[in-house]
Amino acid sequence: MAETHDLIVIGAGPGGYVAAIRAAQLGLKVACVELAKGLGGTCLRVGCIPSKALLESSERYAAARLGLAEHGITVEGVSFDLAAMMKRKDKIVSILSKGVDGLFKKNGVTRYLGRARIVAAGQVVVEGDSPVELAAKHVIIATGSHSADLPGVELDGDRVGTSTEALAYTAVPDHLVVIGAGFIGLELGSVWARLGAKVTVLEYLDRILPGMDSELAAEALKIFAKQGLEFRLGSRVTGARAKGKGAVVEVDGAEPIACDRVLLAVGRTANTDGLGLDQVGVRLNERQQIVVDQHYATTVPGIHAVGDVIGGPMLAHKAEEEGVACVERLVTGYGHVNYDALPGICYTHPEIASVGRTEEQLTADGVPYRKGAFPFLANGRARSLGETDGRIKVLAHGETDRLLGVHIIGPRAGDLIAEAAAAIEFGASSEDLARCFHAHPTLSEALKEAALAVDERAIHV
Ligand SMILES: Cc1cc2nc3c(=O)[nH]c(=O)nc-3n(C[C@H](O)[C@H](O)[C@H](O)COP(=O)(O)OP(=O)(O)OC[C@H]3O[C@@H](n4cnc5c(N)ncnc54)[C@H](O)[C@@H]3O)c2cc1C
């Protein structure tokens, strides 16, 4: 006999667990199936949270070693304990994961441990030691993604691995080769470079951070190179494998690179295998992502999908908003996500953050725009922090002045972008931003100045 619910959510990452909680708040009887013991998905277990924990620890180490002298502070004998750093990271993950467990209990979401397979619309089997059959009117697939493969790269879960391994190295590699200069490669490359590894980043394109504003990406490249990361752009990796106690990476037209660890970070692939999607008729696109309409409905009535498993940027907050919108639409008839206001952040030092469209996109779409920029060099707070690298760029519609995009490289860019995301969400103009109070002295004044600069009215530059 199947156990009956109103909604079955498959996957307890940010898309799935948030959808499950919101559905329970709206009065549905909810089951959430997750194959991993810990809740929270990629983001919490092996993604956003552990990477930020290590970024923070390694940044503090680097600051203590190199960043305090200009403040007149002398620190001697700075060292670190990698095992303690890892323990701290694991503790943060464990606390947050248990927190999701607690939220499930508080909201009455029933958790099932095992691998879910859809056998028909509204029918799910949880495979495991003691299989369970579940039935519900609605199913939401939120199974996320895994690190993408690259032909010729032989992952061995040790010397040649993905971000999951790079979040748990037991020793600092002498030489780490990172394949792919996207967010994940640059964040984890930065962690290990700060801790003393030689880091070589191989990127197929002639730029880093594909998809981000190219001017800011070029500035980031210079800053990271100054920090000691070695970049080889236009490098096509043809193979990588463990060799002896290390590894070797083959690059088209270049000498093979001997190193001791390889991190493959060339993107992520949707988790659609083994879910029974073929049998029930859920359509996938050519990238193996689930095809959905604007309300996250798949090609099978009653089955929905959100998060990394569908198209779009693979970001935790995107997955969360989709989970909420999907459930609210099912229960109330309304639910919407404004992708124009979706921020993306690379948590390097300095951080790089972006919301809305880039100049390249606006040019390609033939949208008239005006831009204003302001350097952190001219911001009093950035000066006092000793963090003057970078700038803010504001893009506004050439005729209406409506904000179209904001791109930031600089101190706390990830926090500063929130104001820009809210402004875009509310349909603000650059003048609206420029006329708002921004407390002095704060980094946020740089955003006001960049907005003023759209109209050539910046005061401090
Ligand atoms: C190293 C790294 C750093 C990242 N940093 C950031 C960041 O700073 N900010 C950000 O926004 N994003 C970041 N991301 C991306 C972010 O982790 C994902 O976008 C987010 O986790 C997607 O959420 P999701 O719910 O769609 O899927 P996931 O978080 O992947 O969760 C899916 C869950 O489904 C489970 N599952 C899969 N198949 C089944 C099945 N058949 N049955 C039962 N359960 C199943 C999986 O075990 C998993 O727990 C990072 C990713 C990585 C790898």
The DSSP annotation for 389-409 comes to --EEEEEEETTT-BEEEEEEE
The pLDDT tens digits for 61-74 are: 999 998 899 999 99
The pLDDT tens digits for 120-174 are: 999 999 998 779 999 999 999 999 999 999 999 999 999 999 999 999 999 999 9
Q: Residues for the chain: how many in total?
A: 461
For ligand 1, mutation pick of 18, 32, 43, 310 (most atoms within 8 Å of CB) = 43
Q: Which residues are CB-contacts of 54 (< 8 A; sequence separation ≥ 6)?
A: 85, 89, 167, 188, 191
- Enter the tokens of residue 5: 């619910």
Q: Which residues are CB-contacts of 167 (< 8 A; sequence separation ≥ 6)?
A: 46, 50, 51, 54, 89, 188
Q: What is the pLDDT of residue 368?
A: 98
Q: What is the pLDDT of residue 179?
A: 98
Q: What is the pLDDT of residue 66?
A: 87
Residues 405 and 354: beta-carbon distance below 8 Å: yes
For ligand 1, mutation pick of 48, 292, 346 (most atoms within 8 Å of CB) = 48
Relative orientation angle of helices 82-107 and 48-62, to the nearest 10 degrees = 150
User: What three-state secondary structure class fits 345?
Assistant: strand
User: Which helix (H) or strand (E) is 25 found in, with range?
Assistant: helix 14-25
Q: By C-alpha distance, which of 313, 286, 317, 307 is closest to 210? A: 313
- Which protein residue has the closest C-alpha to ligand 1 atom 13? 48
Q: Is the CB of 316 under 6 A from ligand 1?
A: yes
Q: Is the CB of 444 under 6 A from ligand 1?
A: no
Please tell me the distance from the alpha carbon of residue 49 to that of residue 309, in angstroms, as a whole number: 20
Q: Is the CB of 43 under 6 A from ligand 1?
A: yes
Q: Does the model's pTM come out above 0.85?
A: yes
Please tell me the distance from the alpha carbon of residue 136 to that of residue 121, in angstroms, as a whole number: 9
Residues 277 and 290: beta-carbon distance below 8 Å: yes
Give the Å distance between the CA of 144 and the centre of ligand 1: 5
Q: How many degrees, rounded to 5, is the angle at CA 251 between CA 249 and CA 253? A: 145
Q: Token match 């999951």: residue?
A: 164
Q: How many degrees, rounded to 5, is the angle at CA 187 between CA 184 and CA 188? A: 85
Q: What is the pLDDT of residue 129?
A: 78
Give the Å distance between the CA of 42 and the centre of ligand 1: 3
Q: Where are the alpha helices (DSSP H) in 122-213?
A: 163-166, 183-194
Q: By C-alpha distance, which of 20, 18, 298 is closest to 6? A: 20
Q: Is the CB of 163 under 6 A from ligand 1?
A: yes
Other CB atoms within 10 A of residue 286 CB: 5
Q: Is the CB of 144 under 6 A from ligand 1?
A: yes
Q: Is the CB of 406 under 6 A from ligand 1?
A: no
Residues 213 and 207: beta-carbon distance below 8 Å: no
Q: What is the pLDDT of residue 234?
A: 98
Q: What is the pLDDT of residue 314?
A: 97
Q: By C-alpha distance, which of 21, 188, 170 is closest to 103? A: 21
Long-range contacts formed by 363-368: CB under 8 A, 24+ apart: 367/397, 367/398, 367/404, 368/397, 368/398, 368/399
Give the Å distance between the CA of 55 and the centre of ligand 1: 19
What percentage of the chain exceeds 70 in pLDDT? Answer: 100
Q: Is the CB of 327 under 6 A from ligand 1?
A: no
Nearest atom in ligand 1 to the alpha carbon of residue 39 is: 49
Exposure pattern of 37-73 as b/e (b: 16+ CB <10 Å)?
ebbbbbbbbbbbbbbebbbbbbbebbbeeebeeeeee
Residues of the chain with pLDDT under 70: none
Q: How many degrees, rounded to 5, is the angle at CA 150 between CA 146 and CA 151? A: 135
Q: Which member of 138, 336, 397, 440 is catalytic?
A: 440
Q: By C-alpha distance, which of 309, 398, 317 is closest to 355? A: 317
Respond yes or no: is residue 440 known to be catalytic: yes
- Which protein residue has the closest C-alpha to ligand 1 atom 27? 144
Q: What is the pLDDT of residue 1?
A: 82
Rg (Cα) of the chain, in Å, rounded?
23
Q: What is the pLDDT of residue 130?
A: 79
Residues 258 and 171: beta-carbon distance below 8 Å: no
Q: How many degrees, rounded to 5, is the angle at CA 154 between CA 150 and CA 158? A: 120
